[in-house]
Amino acid sequence: MPEYLDVWQCIGCGRVEEVPQTCIGVCRTVKRKLVDQKDYDAIALRLERYAEVLRLIAASTPRREACLEHWHALQSRARAALAEDSAPSSSSAPAR
């Protein structure tokens, strides 16, 4: 799970700070959560793999005589997408 950093962002000018500052009165800050780009990219890749399987399910219509084989093929694709997430990644290994 990615780590989040709480920051304050002005909804007027877009300024981002870790600690809210006093303002001249034109800004209004709201609390936001930031995530590291590397974590975001990893999650986006996972979601794209899942979306590929969902698009395949949504767009396919099995032949009546091949429903079971079709279902097994879809399960195989879904399992493969999930297995990629549980496989150890070289980037998650601690640096030595």
Q: Kindly state the helix (H) or strand (E) to which residue 5 belongs, with its residue range.
A: strand 4-10
pTM beyond 0.85, yes or no: no
91: pLDDT strictly greater than 60: no
How far is 35 from 3, CA to CA, in rounded Å? 6
Q: What is the mean pLDDT of residues 29-42?
A: 90
pLDDT confidence of residue 49:
92
Token pair for residue 84? 């990629």
Q: How many CB atoms lie within 10 A of CB 50?
A: 14
With a cut of 60, say whether residue 78 has pLDDT above it.
yes
